[in-house]
Structure 1
């Protein structure tokens, strides 16, 4: 099907609250070399979208200013030198922007076939979190079978993914969450221990759960006061991987514990990295994780869906932190 010349997208009128998101009419982009044009059926909503809307996370040079970092849909056109995916293919893709739209460009190497058994909504909830977790927990964090993984924010999209992948690859998983209901949800996903951080000290809970040893890998998107506490909760030779700073990125800390425990504290962003660095992650996911998705052993948790025009309501829900799992926009179909 030939795409139209114009489309409806969700633009950001100015930095601000959810109300600054509004529908706009824009041209449908044409795929360049190495790109595919996808008719979007669903698009995931993520914390970086909220940060971009607030003016804290501008798109990298050359990326669309339309929010949205993950999509699922059908390929309708391909650019030069693209052999696959072909037009008509059902794909889910990690994108640098442009997802809140009826049509979106994606790099062909980052547009993966939708795993068997997943519909477009579920498929749209996969790329951002699964790319992030694989890259940070298994690549940078080097999690190995039999080790202990501590996941902060266990009911976030990242958290629900990390719990499931950690268990699937043989780790013992501990997590933090903000209510008894959320802790129960984490345990249902496979977490061995879920700590309500409002009522318990997660450092003490981790020490108790590990017989005083601590966690081998810690995945943290909180930052702030969690940073020195992560050093306390980490095992000897532990690896702490920072992926966000919900409590802020500036903190006073004594690094002596890092030296004495031989800790590694690393971190990374995903959006600004070139395709050449993201493509190996995509290949690893297709080899090791796609079979788990197809078998139903590891699936995105969908909390709510909204029509594209209600992106502001989706952002308001995201900011409330009342959700468990992913929020997805329904675009077509």
Structure 2
């Protein structure tokens, strides 16, 4: 099978090597799928760019089950599934933990699945973590990303009073308005149109400071990105504000019934037409390096998907 391997040359140059590899086997509690679509995630792009040693590509995958490991229930050979693969996702066959897998409806494509499920779960989880009350204002950073596009729509559907998209360039304004944003602000703007009751932050890093300063009294910032960053305690103190860290794995492992319900509801919202996925580009698997470049340069409007 074809697999993409990551190499590091001299600690600076990132190389993507296509290679022929043996097809993996499904272990206990796992599914082996023939991949039809692979979603490129920002955490994987960051690990590849910032790491000093080779990393294994992770990402959302969708495809057809070709074998099941011991102890797997609820899935069978021939089922179409999607889920997050933590290693060797950039390949024609990939292994999924069955606990993190979700069935793909007959009327959905594999591309639909990788654009909806994992990103939608993160968007839903971050929104719930913010305890948004009806009528409150919500700012979404990285609003043109796979997660951000869904977070905007979920906030509107859930009754947020003012939903604002924060993006890196003005040419994305029309796109995020089309997904329901009432207003658009740029990261370079002075005050981001503050204040906000809730900020859903998918960027982190140097944007954490401006984000905290944009919070209203008693506001909540939900940090769910892999970008790190530092928050000044004084800025929280003077606003009576809080920062909440959200991690999807905690829900998947600790509250599997909630994880399953959110998955079902995402597909139901898609079927009802109240939630739309946005796919920036479908790129051949062998061109994975180009997919990473699109995200690194912040050019994507929605999900970037690799096609084996």
Matched, 1:326 2:303: yes
Between the aligned partners of 1:84 and 1:245, the Cα distance in structure 2 is: 32
Cα RMSD (Å) of the superposition?
2.5
Q: Kindly tell me: are residues 55 and 280 of structure 1, through their superposed partners in 2, closer, same or farther at Cα, counting changes over 3 Å?
A: farther
TM-score after normalising by structure 1 = 0.83
Q: Kindly tell me: are residues 284 and 108 of structure 1, through their superposed partners in 2, closer, same or farther at Cα, counting changes over 3 Å?
A: same
Deviation track 1:296-323 (CA, whole Å, cap 9, x = no partner) reads 3212210111111111111111111112
Pick one of 243, 256, 259 that aligns with 1:279: 256
Task: Give runs of aligned pairs for residues 196-235 of structure 1, distance below 5 A.
Answer: 196-198=186-188, 200-203=189-192, 205-206=193-194, 214-235=195-216
Which residue number in structure 2 is paired with residue 124 of structure 1? 114
TM-score after normalising by structure 2 = 0.89
Q: Kindly tell me: are residues 22 and 135 of structure 1, through their superposed partners in 2, closer, same or farther at Cα, counting changes over 3 Å?
A: same
Which residue number in structure 2 is paired with residue 45 of structure 1? 40
Between the aligned partners of 1:305 and 1:299, the Cα distance in structure 2 is: 17
Which residue number in structure 1 is paired with residue 289 of structure 2? 312
Pick one of 28, 31, 43 that aligns with 1:33: 28
Question: Offset of 1:225 from its aligned partner?
Answer: 4.1
Asked if 1 retains the 8 angstrom alpha-carbon contact of 2:251 and 2:258, the reply is no
Between the aligned partners of 1:281 and 1:317, the Cα distance in structure 2 is: 33
Question: Offset of 1:76 from its aligned partner?
Answer: 1.0
Q: Kindly tell me: are residues 216 and 250 of structure 1, through their superposed partners in 2, closer, same or farther at Cα, counting changes over 3 Å?
A: closer
Question: Offset of 1:250 from its aligned partner?
Answer: 4.1
Q: Kindly tell me: are residues 190 and 330 of structure 1, through their superposed partners in 2, closer, same or farther at Cα, counting changes over 3 Å?
A: same
Which residue number in structure 1 is paired with residue 66 of structure 2? 76
Question: Offset of 1:109 from its aligned partner?
Answer: 2.2
Matched, 1:259 2:241: no
Between the aligned partners of 1:249 and 1:280, the Cα distance in structure 2 is: 32
Structure 1: 5+ residue runs without aligned partners?
A: 1-6, 60-64, 207-213
Question: Offset of 1:221 from its aligned partner?
Answer: 2.9
Which residue number in structure 2 is paired with residue 288 of structure 1? 265
Between the aligned partners of 2:66 and 2:157, the Cα distance in structure 1 is: 35
Pick one of 11, 19, 43 that aligns with 2:5: 11
Question: Offset of 1:275 from its aligned partner?
Answer: 5.2
Structure 2: 5+ residue runs without aligned partners?
A: none
Answer with 114-123 or 21-30: which moved more. 114-123
